[in-house]
Each structure stands twice: as C-alpha cells, then as structure tokens.
Amino acid sequence: MPEIFLVIALVLFAITVLLFTAGDRKLLNFVDYSAASTVARINRHAAVRLLLPVAVNAGCAWIAATRPQLAVPLLFLTPLSILGTAVWICAGMQRLGKGPDVRRVHR
C-alpha cells in the first residue's frame, strides 16, 4: 500500500516541476490571470505551495510502510492536503495583489 502514496507524491512533484518551469503559460484554472502582472511569478508561487501535498504523501508512504494498518485512514490526507494547498494558493493571490479587494470603505 505505500506504493500508492509514492506514486501520488511523484505525480504531484512532476506537476510542481512543470508549474515551476512553465514560465508565462497559464496552467492554473482557478486563478484569474487577466489581472496578473506576471504569470511566471504566480506559477512559481503555486509551485512552492504544491510541495505540501508532496511532503504529506511522502510521509504517508513512510508511515504506511512501517504501520500497514494505517494505510487506509492515511488515504484521506491526500485530498485534504490538495484542497488545503488550493486554498493556500488562492489566499496567496490576495497577497500578490491579484485577488479581490475586500477592504472596507469608511463613509
């Protein structure tokens, strides 16, 4: 069972490398690139954050190898880490100045 975690980690790492080296290609479908000043900066920002699910799956592979009875419950960490990373990337767009402005206007 630990092999599935290693496969997922390798696939996510390949996506991370692809995103880091993408340059000005618009690969993310949940990011508003029309407001972006530099697409390459957004891609690098997302690639670094995508290392979180890679680390989670590598850790799950190690835990599943040492304690096989935990392999099935650890499967739930993969989608949680991917969803958490997507939220983290979207929140980072605000920091990069690409998200919606949510400041209150005082009248």
Please state whether 25 falls in left (phi above 0), alpha (psi between -120 and 50) or beta: beta
Kindly report the pTM of this predicted structure.
Answer: 0.80
Exposure string over 16-52, b if 16+ CB within 10 A, otherwise e: beebbebeeeeebeebeeeebeebeebbbbbbebbeb
CB 38 within 8 A of CB 23: no
Q: What is the pLDDT of residues 69-96, one digit of tens each?
A: 999 999 999 999 999 998 888 888 777 7
Q: What is the pLDDT of residues 18-34, one digit of tens each?
A: 999 988 888 887 776 66
